[in-house]
Amino acid sequence: MSTTTPTRPSTEAEAPASQGSGDGRMLRLGAVGGDWLDRRVSGAGLLRFMGRKIFPDHWSFMFGEVALYSFVVLLISGTYLTMFFVPSMDEVVYNGIYAPLQGAHVSKAYESTLHISFEVKGGLLFRQMHHWSCLVFMVAIFVHMFRVFFTGAFRKPRELNWLVGFALMVLGMVAGFTGYSLPDDVLSGNGLRVVDGLMKGIPIVGTYISMLLFGGEFPGHDIIPRFFTIHILLVPAAILGLIAIHMVMLVLHKHTQYPGPGRTERNVVGFPVFPVYAAKAGGFFFLVFGIITLISATTAINAIWIYGPYDPSPVSAGSQPDWYMLWTDGGLRLIPGWEFTIFGYTVSLNILLPIVVYGGLLVFLALYPFIEQWVTGDDREHHLLDLPYNAPVRTGIGVAWLSEYLILAMAATNDLIALKLRLSINDLTWTFRIAFFLAPIIVFYVTKRLCIAMQRQKRDLALHGEETSKVVRMEDGQMLEIHEPLNEFDRWVLVQHDDYRPLKAGKGVSSLRAAATSFFFKDRVAPVAPSELREALEHAGHERHRIDELTGGDYTTPDARRH
Amino acid sequence: MSEHVNENPESPRSSGTVSTVAPKEGGGFPNPGLPPHVHRQADENPRAEKRAERMVAGLFLLSVLGTVVFIASYFVFTPMGTNLLGEPGTLHAVRWSNLFTGVGLAVAVFFIGAAAVHWAKTLMPDEEWVEERHHIEGSDETREVAAGIITDGLDESGIARRPVIVTAMIAALTALPIAVLAPLSTFGPLPGSKLHHTFWKKGLRITRDTDGTPIKASEVAMNSIFHVMPEGLTEDLEDYLEERAKAATVLIRIDPELGQNQDSLDNGYQGILAFSKICTHVGCPVALYEQQTHHMLCPCHQSTFDVTDGAKVIFGPAHRPLPQLPIEVDAEGYLVAGGDFPEPIGPSFWDLHKDK
Ligand code: HEM
Ligand code: FES
């Protein structure tokens, strides 16, 4: 592994080692402690390697951190909950302090959740923190994933880390689903019942899987203890392990950076881990923790005493899962009642097709880096990020994927939307069904066009500079606007990116790949070439000369001059 | 020179696929290098520096205040006791306790973060450093040694020379995972005929779900809906919830004139029809009944069933009609089941139509 020490900015004067005596004591203490550790675990080597590692700074790099920190909050609050939660479906008669439910037959899981909420000091706060941090965790993972997508940070050498991140997203959903199934209230029970129905729809083995999972017929007595083990042991352990791999790879690859003057494919420009990054990132953990706590102190979530204990018979109108699971419900609502019988056996397309669609969306996302690499054939390492508008087709695909996700999620709330907007559910469902097929195509096209328009505009800016809105009319009647050329630092960001071209089939290029490269790059806007800039500057120079001759270098308006 | 090279580190061992990357004219533009650094106030003005220092210290102290509030309110506001408005009722007390401990904790943690970030932003160096990157892949020498370890190791193991061992090893490694099926099978019983039957039997009285009382045909008013369970399905049963999950039924009376399905009317009693309440899509309880249209709507994915037409699906993802429970009237005039549902209730499954 590399041992080169990064270069500190040259302009900085060496600071004196210590100023006051207090300062000196602090430094000495650090030295003694460091020496002790070094002699036992070679702390010095680790510190030399990590201590001054450089991390680039950008607001969009924050989302991964939010995910990490909210996971820590999940661990802390979840551990507190395990001290009081009873993962059992045995029935008891509720006689706690919540009057409306006294005398009701409930499971121990439900009873203990009420106990945590009403009788354990700080219990409600920790429950709400656990649930809120879960929502924040999933939002952060999602936004982080799409930051990586839209900036092309998944390109070589980071494809594997993309897959690790993808697995974390899926595990997050599993964690969330198993978590909100634990309190055994009406909502969580209905969620489980839908899972039972989905499993039964799987051909041949469906009913067996359902019986194995529930330990018999739904709901049985086993599902909550089983989910408990999955929720507090298996999934968190897997998440922790994957986070560790994610971080090790991050250090190995070093973070990507946005293009900018002085930033190249072969360097990292940013702040050293110690002290600046440690203070910022460590501080940021407390900020995230504090904000989640504040939300939990003021905003109720999952008030299971209102839903009531689970019973298979009562209805709850409008049952929606947590937001990150919504999309998995949307397809179930949009699919028509397709089911057929073959040799007397039943095949439930109304269950299988949505599952195939969900799987397809996820698999496409997971494999996207490999698909794009196959198209571009680009074998180089990429450490400078793409600005999303410089990759119009990728950006279009990403936004189209999001639109599909959003349509599914909205379809899962069609009853609420219908109620709010006073629409018929049937019309709304039909609208979503059509949108499911049309929206991604339209969204893709519009996004791509917008990116290309931005590329053109940036290209003009690089060539001709900033418009000053000062217009001069020449003697021949021609109107010329005075442009202020960009300085080379600002211009650099607009001209540094790579150019990709479609390939022709033949000579080692299959016709499929040729078509794919054409889909990706046929409408490309070529980046400014040095010769073009030279020409543009020359032209601007001539124009400027003519204007100067006419105005004598005085650009104030004739009106202003008269005063 | 190396500082201003902007090209991607081309892998020395390129895969040889034709690439779409276009070469840059004249190698592209030269990278202008880092722009000149602009100093912050606190770097140049000792007063601004002092101010920033006081600010950071102040933020840390706010956190201490938050901790004090947290600890104090943890003991002052017991969930069952203190509530500032003096209102009765547990929920209010819980809310106060939650609010004060929560805000205290939030302040305690948030301001540690605010202080640290402010410290880093105003007082720690804000000039960017530059670190060189290196190829991820090992040097030629390293790769050669690594490849050597693999070939030598494989050779020493003799794997290529001993096909018998290899075959046996593959057999062992394939057989073992199958063993997983054995413990897995104890996770639950086989379905058997369980999914094909419910608690309903011929002659069982139909009782109200709420209080278990039987229902006389004369009590069922036109267009009313009853949520019902079989008599004898009580809380002391071993598999009470499992049976409820299958037996849940609704009773609806329609004007027989409106009926479009003679079979369905024949299975009812003077327009009183009983349908399974478990949706044939994925199993939510279906029981939003629209009296004007005689439709039943499932709240989960909006499957809509027409009660006048044998609970046929008229919209949504469900396919099968809700199974109908045949009903009769006993000697005392109470409604009873004429038998079990004719086919499995709830979500469809593979061998649904096989008799068991
Ligand atoms: C991996 C990330 C995790 C996620 C996304 C997650 C999510 C959830 C959710 C949404 C709930 C329902 C809470 C509610 O009642 O509103 C829940 C409950 C619970 N979680 Fe987690 N959790 C995670 C990790 C953990 C960990 C690490 C533990 C313990 C070590 C834990 C312990 C519990 C317990 C005991 C409950 C049930 C108590 C209750 O519902 O009040 N969780 N979880
Ligand atoms: S469960 Fe009734 S429509 Fe899906």
Confidence of residue A21 (pLDDT cuts 50, 70, 90): low
Report the complex ipTM. 0.92
Confidence of residue A61 (pLDDT cuts 50, 70, 90): very high
Containing structural domain, residue B63: 41-126+148-186
- CB of A182 within 6 A of ligand 1: the answer is yes
Q: What is the pLDDT of residues A128-139, one digit of tens each?
A: 999 999 999 999
- The residue nearest atom 17 of ligand 1, judged by CA position, is A179
> How many CB atoms are closer than 10 A to CB A206?
24
Among B167, B186, B205, the domain boundary falls at B186
B285 contacts A124? CB cut-off 8 A: no
B202 located within any domain: yes
A433 token code pair:
């069904």
Among B186, B212, B232, the domain boundary falls at B186
Q: What is the pLDDT of residues B18-41, one digit of tens each?
A: 899 998 888 889 999 999 998 888
Enumerate the β-bridge partners of residue A257: A384
A555-A556-A557-A561 Cα dihedral, nearest 10 degrees: -130
Confidence of residue B79 (pLDDT cuts 50, 70, 90): low
Average pLDDT of B87-115? Answer: 88
**CA distance linking residue A266 with residue A494, whole number of Å:** 19
B14 located within any domain: no
Confidence of residue B89 (pLDDT cuts 50, 70, 90): low
Amino acid at A346: T
Cβ contacts of A8 on chain B, cutoff 8 Å: 127, 129
Same domain membership, residue B264 and residue B166: no
Residue A446: φ, ψ to 5°: -65, -45
Confidence of residue A2 (pLDDT cuts 50, 70, 90): very low
B134 located within any domain: no
SS3 content of chain A, % helix, strand, coil (to 5): 65, 5, 30
* pLDDT of A561 strictly over 80: no
Closest-lying ligand 2 atom to the alpha carbon of residue A194: 1
Cβ contacts of A279 on chain B, cutoff 8 Å: 116-117, 119-120, 124
Same domain membership, residue B209 and residue B94: no
What is the distance in angstroms between the CA of the first residue and the CA of the last residue of chain A? 71
Cβ contacts of B313 on chain A, cutoff 8 Å: 337
Residue A342: φ, ψ to 5°: -135, 125
CA B168 to each of CA A462, B157, B161, B172, B173: distance values in angstroms, whole numbers, following the listed order: 68, 15, 14, 6, 9
B34 located within any domain: no
A261 token code pair:
């003057």
- The residue nearest atom 3 of ligand 2, judged by CA position, is B301
Average pLDDT of A506-526? Answer: 94
| Of A194, A425, A502, Cβ closest to residue B284 | A194
**CA distance linking residue A68 with residue B185, whole number of Å:** 38
Looking at residue A17, what is its pLDDT?
A: 44
Same domain membership, residue B155 and residue B121: yes
B111 contacts A200? CB cut-off 8 A: no
Mutate to test the pocket of ligand 1, among A77, A81, A125, A170 (most ligand atoms within 8 A of CB): A81
Query: Which of A392, A351, A65, A321 shows the shortest CA–CA distance to A201?
Result: A351
Q: Which ligand places an atom closest to the C-alpha of A72?
A: 1
Same domain membership, residue B345 and residue B200: yes
Looking at residue A13, what is its pLDDT?
A: 43
Looking at residue B43, what is its pLDDT?
A: 87
Same domain membership, residue B341 and residue B207: yes
Same domain membership, residue B120 and residue B230: no
Cβ contacts of B38 on chain A, cutoff 8 Å: none
Q: What is the pLDDT of residues A445-473, one digit of tens each?
A: 999 999 999 999 999 999 999 888 888 88
Same domain membership, residue B237 and residue B335: yes
B37 contacts A9? CB cut-off 8 A: yes
Q: How many domains does chain B have?
A: 2
What is the distance in angstroms between the CA of the first residue and the CA of the last residue of chain B? 82
Looking at residue A410, what is its pLDDT?
A: 95
- CB of A183 within 6 A of ligand 1: the answer is yes
Confidence of residue A10 (pLDDT cuts 50, 70, 90): low
Strand order in the sheet with B272-276: B206-208, B225-230, B249-253, B272-276, B324-325
CATH of the domain at B265: 2.102.10.10
Position with higher pLDDT, A552 vs B347: B347
Same domain membership, residue B168 and residue B285: no
Looking at residue A14, what is its pLDDT?
A: 45
| Of B29, B74, B106, Cβ closest to residue A492 | B29
Q: What is the pLDDT of residues A146-191, one digit of tens each?
A: 999 999 999 999 999 999 999 999 999 999 999 999 999 999 999 9
DSSP H helices, chain B, are 41-44, 46-76, 90-122, 140-157, 163-178, 181-185, 240-247, 262-267
B173 located within any domain: yes
B317 located within any domain: yes
Q: Strands A340-342, A345-347: parallel, antiparallel or unpaired by DSSP?
A: antiparallel
What is the DSSP code string of A104-160?
Answer: -EEEHHHHHHHHHHHTSTTHHHHHHHHHHHHHHHHHHHHHHHHHHHHTTTTSTT-HH
A316 contacts B79? CB cut-off 8 A: no
**CA distance linking residue B150 with residue B159, whole number of Å:** 12
Position with higher pLDDT, B18 vs B171: B171
**How does the average pLDDT of chain B come out, rounded?**
90
Long-range contacts of B145-153 (CB under 8 A, 24+ apart): none
A351 contacts B131? CB cut-off 8 A: no
**CA distance linking residue B191 with residue B355, whole number of Å:** 13
Instruction: List, in order, residues 6 or more apart from A244 with CB less than 8 Å away.
Output: none
B336 located within any domain: yes
A218 contacts B6? CB cut-off 8 A: no
Q: What is the pLDDT of residues A343-400, one digit of tens each?
A: 999 999 999 999 999 999 999 999 999 999 999 999 999 999 999 999 999 999 999 9
Average pLDDT of A80-87? Answer: 97
Same domain membership, residue B176 and residue B282: no
Q: How far is B270 from chain A (nearest CA, A)?
A: 26
Distance from residue A174's CA to the centre of ligand 1 (Å): 11
* pLDDT of A1 strictly over 50: no
DSSP state of A185: B
Average pLDDT of B9-20? Answer: 66
* pLDDT of A544 strictly over 60: yes
Same domain membership, residue B231 and residue B164: no
Same domain membership, residue B290 and residue B248: yes
- CB of A81 within 6 A of ligand 1: the answer is yes
**CA distance linking residue A267 with residue A257, whole number of Å:** 9
A266 contacts B132 by C-beta, under 8 angstroms: yes
Torsional sign, CA B307, B313, B314, B317: positive
Q: What is the pLDDT of residues A212-265, one digit of tens each?
A: 999 999 999 999 999 999 999 999 999 999 999 999 999 999 999 999 999 999
Q: How far is A296 from chain B (nearest CA, A)?
A: 7
CA A392 to each of CA A324, A447, A452: distance values in angstroms, whole numbers, following the listed order: 27, 7, 6
Distance from residue B14's CA to the centre of ligand 2 (Å): 54
Looking at residue A485, what is its pLDDT?
A: 87
**CA distance linking residue A194 with residue A328, whole number of Å:** 11
- CB of A131 within 6 A of ligand 1: the answer is yes
Looking at residue B246, what is its pLDDT?
A: 95
* 3-class SS letters over B285-311: ECCEEECCCCEEECCCCCCEEEHHHCC
Query: Which of A167, A197, A183, A168 shows the shortest CA–CA distance to A227?
Result: A183
Same domain membership, residue B287 and residue B174: no
- CB of A239 within 6 A of ligand 1: the answer is yes
CA B256 to each of CA B260, B265, B321: distance values in angstroms, whole numbers, following the listed order: 9, 7, 19
- Tell me the HSE value of A103 on the side-chain side, using a 13 A CA sphere: 2
CA A425 to each of CA A332, A415, B84: distance values in angstroms, whole numbers, following the listed order: 14, 6, 45
**How does the average pLDDT of chain A come out, rounded?**
91
* pLDDT of B271 strictly over 50: yes
* pLDDT of A560 strictly over 70: no
Looking at residue B90, what is its pLDDT?
A: 62
Q: Is A470 helix (H, G, I), strand (E, B) or coil?
A: strand
Instruction: List, in order, residues 6 or more apart from B156 with CB less than 8 Å away.
Output: none
Which residue's entry shows tokens 């969204």? Answer: A443
Q: What percent of chain B has pLDDT over 90?
A: 75
B25 located within any domain: no
Closest B-chain CA to A427: B315
